[in-house]
């Protein structure tokens, strides 16, 4: 059976086990540190790729921090700049709304340089499956209706039709749809403020 449970033995064995465990974890940490960074950047780049036109730079290295509301400049949103060669082809804006049905959710909005929405996609959410979760369906009418719209020149009323706006909500998911409009409006304001920086 095991060795005697004297105080000396217990303290010794516990210390050795902890040291051994920490050493093993440290080694693995060092080995996997870089692949983890690469995986994280990959994930962000994938999200960016979905929402802006083709680019050849690494947008994760060109991040602007732009506020949505100029009166509170410390609250900024991340804006990734996508370039082809030296020419800017698009901006990917991360936008979070707190008005979701299941809490806050974050989307990535891609703008072409002239302010039109190229595409949008959801980064993380906790909406109801079958209802609000339909925002993750990139082919759905709700998502594709945003493409091509200009959110900053006043041509689009960013609200669901029930509230007098131009956006068709997801069936039976008005609250989620409204939250998405809120996130889009924030993204639009951020885009507007890019040129002011």
Partner 1 sequence: MNKLIVSPSPHVHGKDNTRRLMGDVIIALLPAVLVSIYFFGLSAIHLVAVSVVACVAVEFLIQKFLLKGKSSIGDLSAIVTGVLLALNLPVCSPWWLILIGAVVAIGIAKMTFGGLGQNIFNPALVARVVLLVSFPILMTGSAFHAPESGYIFGNAPEFVDATSGATPLALVKEQLAKGVAMDEIMKDPNLSYFQMLYARMGGSAGELSAIALILGFVYLLVRRVIKPYISLSVLLTVFIFSGLLYLGNPAKFVDPVFNLLTGGLLLGAFFMATDYVTSPMTTKGQIIFGVGIGVITVLIRAFGAYPEGVSFAILIMNSTVPLLNKIQPKRFAKEAQKK
Partner 2 sequence: MSKFKYLLEGIVKNNPTFVLVLGMCPTLATTTSAMNGMGMGAATMAVLICSNMVISLLAPIIPDKVRIPCYIVVIAAFVTVVQFVMQAFTPALYETLGIFIPLIVVNCIVLGRAEAFANKHSVLESALDGIGIGIGFTIALTCIGLVREVLGNLSAFDHKFASSDGMLVFVLAPGAFLVLGYLMVIFNKIKGKKNA
Residues recorded for the chain: 197
Q: Which of 32, 65, 140, 171 binds partner 1 (CB under 8 A)?
A: 171
3-class DSSP state for residue 59?
helix
- Give the CA-trace dihedral at 56, 121, 119, 191, to 10 degrees: -80
Q: Map residues 101-130 to x or -, x wherever contact with partner 1 holds by CB under 8 A.
A: x--------------------------x-x
In the complex, minimum distance from the CB of residue 172 to partner 2, in angstroms, rounded to a whole number: 12
Question: Of the two residues 126 and 147, which places its CB atom closer to partner 1 in the complex?
Answer: 126
Tokens of 118: 């190229």
Q: What are the φ/ψ torsions at residue 109 (nearest 5 degrees)?
A: -110, 125
Report the distance separating Cα 143 and Cα 7, nearest Å.
65
Helix extents (H) in the chain: 7-51, 141-144, 174-194
- Select the span of 7-15, 74-82, 86-94, 174-182 touching partner 2 (CB under 8 A): 7-15
In the complex, minimum distance from the CB of residue 172 to partner 1, in angstroms, rounded to a whole number: 5
Shortest CA distance to 67 belongs to which of 57, 79, 76?
A: 76
In the complex, minimum distance from the CB of residue 25 to partner 2, in angstroms, rounded to a whole number: 5
| Near partner 2 in 41-100, by CB under 8 A | 42-43
- Cα distances (angstroms) measured from residue 60 to each of 11, 46, 88, 115, 146: 48, 11, 14, 21, 24
User: Which of partner 2, partner 1, none lies near 46, with the C-beta cut-off 5 to 8 A by kind?
Assistant: none
User: Which of partner 1, partner 2, none lies near 3, with the C-beta cut-off 5 to 8 A by kind?
Assistant: partner 2
Strand (E) or helix (H) holding 80? strand 76-84
In the complex, minimum distance from the CB of residue 131 to partner 1, in angstroms, rounded to a whole number: 5
- Residue ranges that bind partner 1, judged by CB under 8 A: 101, 128, 130-131, 163, 171-172, 174-175
Residues that bind partner 2 (CB under 8 A): 1-6, 9-10, 13-14, 17-18, 20-22, 24-25, 28-29, 32, 35-36, 39-40, 42-43, 129-130
């Amino acid at each position: 059976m095991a060795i005697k449970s004297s105080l000396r033995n217990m303290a010794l064995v516990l210390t050795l086990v902890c040291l051994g465990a920490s050493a093993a974890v440290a080694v693995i940490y060092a080995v996997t540190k870089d692949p983890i960074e690469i995986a994280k950047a990959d994930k962000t780049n994938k999200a960016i790729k979905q929402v802006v036109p083709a680019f050849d730079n690494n947008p994760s290295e060109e991040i602007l921090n732009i506020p949505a509301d100029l009166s509170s400049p410390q609250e900024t949103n991340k804006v990734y700049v996508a370039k082809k060669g030296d020419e800017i082809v698009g901006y990917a804006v991360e936008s979070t709304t707190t008005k979701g049905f299941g809490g806050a959710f974050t989307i990535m909005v891609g703008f072409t340089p002239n302010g039109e929405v190229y595409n949008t996609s959801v980064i993380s959410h906790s909406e109801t499956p079958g209802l609000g979760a339909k925002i993750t369906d990139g082919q759905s009418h709700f998502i594709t209706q945003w493409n091509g719209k200009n959110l900053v020149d006043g041509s689009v009323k960013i609200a669901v039709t029930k509230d007098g706006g131009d956006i068709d909500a997801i069936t039976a998911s008005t609250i989620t749809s409204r939250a998405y409009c809120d996130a889009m409006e924030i993204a639009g304001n951020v885009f507007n403020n890019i040129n002011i920086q």
